[in-house]
């Protein structure tokens, strides 16, 4: 009970208005309110201290030549010295940057100082009123009333400070009046009580109105800074907090960390399951983020499936990596949304201040680059710190992104063709069209580097259309038993106009649909399964064949073989290269061939480089082989030379 009373008394001294029936506030809003209250008091303090000095000097002049002159000078000297000191400090504080929050102790100190000043002014009538002349009594009365009114006005935002200042003056005046004999004492006492009650009610009313207005303003600002869906701070709030964290880092030589978190497949979830399911997923992701981070870490939702975390405490790299790992681990468990399990893959980029910069834009570029590397490296590397090498990579990526826009128009893109060998007849069955980019200054750019850029910038649609058209026009000049295979990316298959474009291209090139083969990889199916099935079935109905590339890696599923209209399965080169030395790889290749044949699907083995590998593939019944032994990717002019070697491959 005693501890509770002490707590309530501390709240009272800190400016809490609940004691007087005012609105309730919680930290950190209360800290912001105290900052505004103290700021207003400081704004009035300098003028108030000047009034203190002038009033003290006026009193000394009023009693000059009387027996109380020396005592009055001593009393006034204390006021003048204290007022001068406080006034100068207030002026300095007011000119400095206004704090975002003020502690309870700061307000308590302000209340203490107000009480000390009030007590010293309250001593004025007690010490001098009884023995003063009538004229001096009038001056003392006027000064006391003026200081009461002025103090109440100065401290109107903090009622307890106003009480601490004015109450001693009221008490001192009352004591002085009681000591003086006369019939006027009772009416004066009643007048003083009425004056005190009226003044106190006015101060409370102003304080309540001020606090309530501030709370409403804070709630309005909070709504602007809050993401409607997840209730996390939004990008606006994030920018403010990042600027504040970096300002503290500069001023106090502190460290902070910025983590950029992204759900890699959020766009696919949105496209496949709809906005409502995607929104529900984001709410669950936000909840897991709150549980996975520390209380001091600031989380914000930026856009889509992208979130940011600002860490200002314990930002050692090992601790930040631990927090990042907790987040990634939390996202691995399936999300149960409306009875459906949704799996998400998360990547996190990390930048540290001041090591990676103290400018917000620079730090954001660093963390974005680190996130891009985390997403590019894929599984097992989903957490990446920014490094100096990333600057070179980011510069190169920006250059490639800029030059890729004109690469097609400047004839820098071309198709290389790599043959497929039929293992039953030792004849070339067709060619895979492989996209190449010959940069004018950087030389050959690998597809693994420029295709992701094309996908992210949307250039993949124009480049992909050109590749299909060029491949079909080339194949139209080949013998009619040869096919051409073209790779399609995730982004291309999302294009609603893709089917019509393929039909139009086939007609324009005069190529039979059965001679065009569409190659897809498993990541296409993971991100957009239902829509991909519909598109591939439409292509299949046109007699366009479908091949599943790199089978056996990533998220291979037998569901693909059962549900997709596949004509061909391509075994990944990693199994083919090790199948003669690794019994497991050998068994996998043999089993895949048998399984595919049971499902009436032909099999092509990739990465064949030796005759022994070719002989083994023949023995297990594989249909086709592709690799450097058969022929390296070459320009269209090299196709006759490749075809001339077809009978000698198996010898």
Both 533 and 497 in one domain: the answer is: yes
Pairing of strands 298-303, 306-311: antiparallel
Residue 496: how many CB atoms within 10 A of its CB?
A: 8
Q: Taking each helix axis from N to C terminus, what angle separates 29-62 and 69-95, rounded to the nearest 10 degrees?
A: 150
* Chosen domain end from 386, 412, 430: 386
> Which residues lie closer than 8 Å to 464 by C-beta, 6 or more apart?
488, 489, 492
Give the domain CATH number at 326.
Answer: 3.30.70.270
What pLDDT, on the 0 to 100 scale, is given for residue 487?
A: 92
Both 293 and 220 in one domain: the answer is: no
What pLDDT, on the 0 to 100 scale, is given for residue 651?
A: 43
How is residue 85 written in tokens?
Answer: 């000191």
Residue ranges in the chain whose pLDDT is less than 50: 1-6, 183-184, 646-651
State whether the Cα torsion 62-68-70-72 is positive or negative: negative
* Chosen domain end from 180, 203, 224: 224
What pLDDT, on the 0 to 100 scale, is given for residue 6?
A: 47
Residue 566 · residue 532 · CB < 8 Å: no
Query: How far apart are alpha carbons 94 and 38 in whole angstroms?
Result: 10
User: Would you say residue 169 lies in a domain?
Assistant: yes
Give the domain CATH number at 427.
Answer: 3.20.20.450
Query: Cα–chain-centroid distance for residue 142?
Result: 61
Strand partners, 298: 310
* Chosen domain end from 386, 406, 429: 386
Both 568 and 421 in one domain: the answer is: yes
Domain around 356: 235-386
Both 440 and 483 in one domain: the answer is: yes
How is residue 528 written in tokens?
Answer: 């957009």
Both 365 and 285 in one domain: the answer is: yes
Sheet containing 346-353, strands listed edge to edge, beginning at the edge strand earlier in sequence: 298-303, 306-311, 256-263, 346-353, 383-385
Maximum Cα–Cα distance across the chain = 135
What pLDDT, on the 0 to 100 scale, is given for residue 25?
A: 57
User: Would you say residue 649 lies in a domain?
Assistant: no
Both 360 and 459 in one domain: the answer is: no
Measure the CA dihedral 584/585/591/592, to 10°: 150
- Cα 215-216-219 angle, rounded to 5 deg: 85
User: Would you say residue 650 lies in a domain?
Assistant: no
User: Would you say residue 194 lies in a domain?
Assistant: yes
What pLDDT, on the 0 to 100 scale, is given for residue 590?
A: 92
Both 136 and 271 in one domain: the answer is: no
What pLDDT, on the 0 to 100 scale, is given for residue 513?
A: 93
Both 120 and 194 in one domain: the answer is: yes
Query: How many structural domains comprise the chain?
Result: 3
User: Would you say residue 263 lies in a domain?
Assistant: yes
Both 145 and 19 in one domain: the answer is: yes
**pTM: predicted TM-score of the whole model, two decimal places:** 0.52
Query: How far apart are alpha carbons 358 and 229 in whole angstroms?
Result: 31
State whether the Cα torsion 471-473-479-480 is positive or negative: positive
How is residue 583 written in tokens?
Answer: 């019994």
Residue 242 · residue 310 · CB < 8 Å: yes
Radius of gyration of the chain from Cα atoms? 40
What pLDDT, on the 0 to 100 scale, is given for residue 648?
A: 46
Query: How far apart are alpha carbons 603 and 40 in whole angstroms?
Result: 80
Both 121 and 194 in one domain: the answer is: yes
Both 218 and 353 in one domain: the answer is: no
User: Would you say residue 648 lies in a domain?
Assistant: no
Both 328 and 475 in one domain: the answer is: no
User: Would you say residue 288 lies in a domain?
Assistant: yes
What pLDDT, on the 0 to 100 scale, is given for residue 374?
A: 85
User: Would you say residue 392 lies in a domain?
Assistant: no
């Amino acid at each position: 009970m005693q501890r509770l009373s002490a707590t309530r008394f501390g709240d009272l001294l800190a400016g809490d208005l609940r004691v007087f029936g005012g609105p309730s506030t919680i930290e950190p809003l209360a800290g912001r309110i105290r900052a505004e209250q103290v700021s207003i008091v400081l704004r009035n303090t300098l003028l108030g201290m000047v009034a203190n000095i002038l009033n003290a000097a006026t009193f000394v002049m009023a009693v000059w030549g009387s027996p109380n002159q020396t005592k009055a000078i001593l009393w006034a000297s204390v006021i003048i010295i204290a007022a001068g000191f406080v006034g100068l400090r207030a002026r300095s504080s007011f000119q400095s940057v206004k704090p975002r929050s003020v502690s309870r102790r700061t307000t308590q100190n302000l209340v203490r100082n107000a009480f000390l000043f009030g007590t010293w002014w309250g001593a004025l009538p007690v010490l001098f009123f009884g023995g003063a002349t009538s004229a001096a009594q009038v001056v003392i009365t006027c000064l006391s009333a003026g200081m009461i009114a002025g103090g109440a006005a100065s401290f109107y935002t903090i009622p307890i400070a106003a009480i601490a200042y004015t109450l001693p003056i009221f008490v001192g005046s009352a004591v002085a009046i009681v000591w003086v004999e006369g019939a006027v004492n009772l009416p004066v006492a009643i007048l003083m009580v009425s004056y005190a009650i009226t003044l106190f009610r006015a101060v409370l009313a102003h304080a309540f109105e001020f606090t309530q207005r501030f709370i409403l303003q804070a709630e309005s600002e909070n709504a602007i800074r809050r993401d409607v869906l997840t209730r996390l701070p939004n990008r606006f709030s994030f920018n403010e907090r990042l600027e504040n964290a970096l300002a503290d880092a500069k001023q106090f030589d502190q460290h902070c960390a910025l983590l950029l978190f992204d759900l890699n497949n959020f766009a696919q979830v949105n496209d496949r399951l709809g906005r409502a399911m995607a929104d529900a997923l984001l709410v669950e992701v936000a909840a897991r983020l709150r549980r996975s981070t520390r209380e001091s870490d600031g989380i914000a939702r930026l856009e889509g499936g992208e979130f940011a975390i600002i860490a200002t405490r314990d930002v050692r790299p090992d601790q930040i990596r631990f927090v990042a790992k907790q987040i990634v681990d939390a996202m691995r468990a399936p999300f149960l949304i409306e009875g459906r399990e949704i799996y998400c893959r998360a990547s996190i980029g990390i930048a540290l201040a001041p090591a990676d910069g103290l400018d917000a834009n620079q730090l954001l570029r660093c963390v974005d680059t680190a996130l891009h590397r985390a997403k590019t490296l894929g599984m097992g590397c989903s957490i990446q710190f920014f490094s100096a090498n990333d600057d070179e990579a980011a510069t190169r990526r920006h250059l490639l992104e800029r030059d890729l826009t004109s690469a097609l128009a400047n004839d820098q893109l071309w198709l290389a063709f790599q043959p497929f060998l039929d293992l039953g007849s030792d004849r070339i069955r067709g060619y895979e069209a492989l996209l190449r980019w010959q940069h004018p200054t950087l030389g050959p750019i690998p597809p693994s580097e420029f295709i992701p850029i094309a996908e992210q910038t949307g250039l993949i649609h124009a480049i992909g259309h050109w590749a299909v058209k060029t491949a079909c026009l080339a194949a139209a000049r080949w013998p009619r038993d040869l096919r051409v295979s073209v790779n399609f990316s995730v982004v291309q298959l999302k294009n609603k106009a893709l089917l019509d474009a393929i039909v139009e291209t086939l007609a324009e090139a005069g190529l039979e649909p059965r001679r065009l083969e569409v190659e897809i990889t498993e990541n296409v199916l993971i991100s957009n399964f239902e829509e991909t099935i519909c598109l591939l079935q439409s292509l299949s109905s046109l007699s366009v064949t479908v091949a599943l590339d790199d089978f056996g890696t990533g998220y291979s599923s037998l569901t693909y073989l059962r549900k997709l209209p596949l004509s061909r399965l391509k075994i990944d080169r990693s199994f083919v290269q090790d199948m003669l030395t690794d019994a497991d790889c050998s068994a996998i290749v043999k089993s895949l061939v048998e399984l595919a044949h049971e499902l009436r699907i032909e099999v092509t083995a990739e990465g064949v480089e030796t005759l022994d590998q070719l002989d083994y593939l023949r023995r297990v019944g594989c249909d086709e082989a592709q690799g450097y032994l058969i022929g390296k990717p070459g320009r269209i002019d090299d196709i006759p030379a490749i075809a001339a070697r077809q009978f000698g491959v198996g010898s």
